[in-house]
Chains A and B, each alone.
Chain A
């Protein structure tokens, strides 16, 4: 196709815009854009900001429910947690920057998601994360792991919000493209939630926070492209975080929010001033006129282009009630922050930018937003992997204890203590369940209730059966919340995939969404916020599909909180749910036999629901002493984790003492510990609920024993479980 425009073709391409996208800009404007305008379109129409490949499919996810106050589309989702309180939460990716510069990339990922939460009027009370690294032997893994963990800690510790949980795994598919997904949960009052729709013609548009510098220009465009061998050159597109300023911004914003002064507020995240101003104008169906000379600047001689595309951190844009400027200014000055009226709301429905008296841009908002490209990309769905039949004869039961040791000391199943001890997980003094259990539990300050939070995803499940993998990611968080004694309410999703222009990648995305949709519907566990990160590829090699899910639930009475730690010696240990011994695509195959083979386990959502409700019933009747869901690694790993976190042993005497039974990853299962005196009541209840119940043994003093097979002391197993990260990062 011939290039017929005056604007250089190379300039359009370097802005990440396709030819037909540029055609529609020219058509919409009725002229060619100037450089500033081109930069603005580039920032708004990249994949990261426009969701152009994913929007069509995201609309299929269930987003409503009795407790949903705000679903997707705002800075974060909002759910009702009774008594006029709401929980505000979202998870977001910061993959590309973290690969280029792990400390700052991860730190600003935390900073960005925190701002999304307090922009809505919520005080952040918990941070979590979901991290994926390449295989440990890859030369970059150690450096990336250390940098990311330090960056997350560096930001969260300083701002004083506890980092209470998360997940991490290692797989070669992330060798050239790690994933850093950060989640924040905040608490607000239902009648004091702040939104981003600008309103009130003539009202002042106010800039607060840090000054604007030249950092992070084109960050969002970078995050929408694949990596190649020149990735190092992209370092200047990574922003630099200042958690101290964010702490001041948090306190100043919450202080101003107590007054009746803010009409709309939006943080400046990806694509900075561009996306925040356009978002506010578009939501309010108004125009904005901004005088860029008024923007507080860190560097001299910044151009309109640079000011609009900078991703300097710790900044916010607000529309204030007229007349409230001085009061608001006093608050921000008290916290030593910038406060500048930089424009006003107009009725033109245009974004107009002036600088030194000259008009630098004039773009109708609807062209930027409603006319943004949306693609229904071609997709092909791969056949799910077939069942891999192991010759059971080759698996000798004598190796079970050795296999347990191998698995529990493997980077994908070992203790994450080395990570969470670098995060302040107790500041704010409301952390009731610390990292290392099924879900983190954080009390709602000053009350007797708490929220439980869990992040999860199994990329290998998703790779080999994207539909079941999508279901699983949702269900695993649901199960974790249930096991903690919480009523699961809603999720946030962080969809990390490869290049959507490849039909097989798009197929993975479509199937994961379909699986998630089904799980969310049956469990009545809607999606209230989320983020999509595509083009996670290096040199054409895509990552495994990774729909990371963050689930939030409510514990109405904190005395009903459960952890995975065994509580007493000589109690009974039962499994809930049916164990068939599904070894396909399991941790046992991957770690012990070094094979990534077989079918992803299938989840029966009705069983899942039934078993989960049964667990909640047991907890409400105070029948369960401890509860743990059976996840990756199967029954024996779950039982060992309950021993490791308590120091109380277990003697397992189940019917089938073989690999398939002990390491199989059948879904919908839990382990519970109960007092002997409650056994009859447990059996009666399980009958009433028609759940499958099996006694697998009892707790003992200090060993993990499988009757007639072998045993290992908790202390020995602990040494194996605890040391991997420490040794790896030395």
Chain B
């Protein structure tokens, strides 16, 4: 089991992801500095949350041109499982590995709280545990948006990974924390080996932190 976590200047969930991966798989991931141009053979690459390069331009925009990112794209296209969490999701969207856009929350403020998500797609390695999962979100720009054509395309290809819902799995406007189109919390590429999601599964891997539902997302890959 070999996994890799990308570290950009300004990443701040890199350690949390590493701790979560080690607790689930028993082996620590290798941390990959943004200036590296190659990544060793890998079973999972995680692009973690944070504020890469300060996110002073559009979120994730600078990271999507960083030296390491070409290697991430190459590995993703070769079928290596890749997860982008929060800022990592924003970065994967900027690289065009994933479709759509993440715009400012409709509340126009940062939101940090527990939410529930449920898988829409049950065939990918990340989503096959078909349960309603509780985990935190913590972002300013997590409002998923895409053109009508794009939405149609990702629906037709079963690319919606997760939707925001309530504790009973009901998807509604009330359970949508940030205004995301169709309550979309996470999406897949068409090959289903790249996942981007706004919620933080790495912060929900033990009950003492409030939930261990986040484990399911990693387990399909790590076990």
Chain A residues near B (Cβ < 8 Å): 150, 153-154, 157-160, 242-245, 247-248, 335-336, 420-432, 434, 443, 558
Contact = CB atoms under 8 A, between A and B. Distances in A.
A644 B53 CA distance: 40
Interface string B108-142: 01111100000000000000000000001010100
Contacts of B10: 158, 244, 247-248
B54 to A, nearest CB: 3
A244 B112 contact: no
Contact of B208 (A160, A336, A427, A432): A432
7 interchain residue pairs of minimum CB distance: A160-B12, A244-B54, A429-B16, A424-B138, A158-B51, A424-B112, A422-B110
Given A160-B13, A428-B15, A422 B112 contact: yes
Interface string B63-99: 0000000000000000000000000000000000000
Given A244-B54, A429-B16, A421 B112 contact: yes
**Secondary structure dominating the interface of B:** mixed
17 contacts: A153-B110, A158-B12, A158-B54, A160-B50, A244-B53, A420-B112, A422-B109, A422-B110, A423-B112, A426-B138, A426-B203, A427-B12, A427-B49, A429-B20, A429-B203, A429-B205, A434-B210
Interface of B: 9-10, 12-13, 15-16, 19-20, 49-51, 53-56, 109-113, 136, 138, 140, 200, 202-203, 205, 208-210
A159 B12 contact: yes
Nearest to A417: B113
Given A242-B54, A422-B109, A248 B209 contact: no
Given A150-B109, A153-B110, A247-B51, 7 more contacts: A248-B10, A420-B112, A421-B110, A422-B111, A422-B112, A428-B15, A430-B209
Contact of A426 (B19, B110, B200): B200
B66 to A, nearest CB: 12
A259 B56 CA distance: 32
Nearest to B112: A424
Contacts of B20: 429
B112 A425 contact: yes
A428 B16 contact: yes
B8 to A, nearest CB: 10
Contacts of B16: 427-429
A154 B56 CA distance: 12
Contacts of A426: 112, 136, 138, 200, 203, 209
Contacts of A424: 110, 112, 138
B117 to A, nearest CB: 16
Contact of B19 (A158, A336, A429, A434): A429
A159 B55 CA distance: 12
Contacts of A159: 12
Contacts of B210: 434
A244 B12 CA distance: 10
A432 B10 CA distance: 24
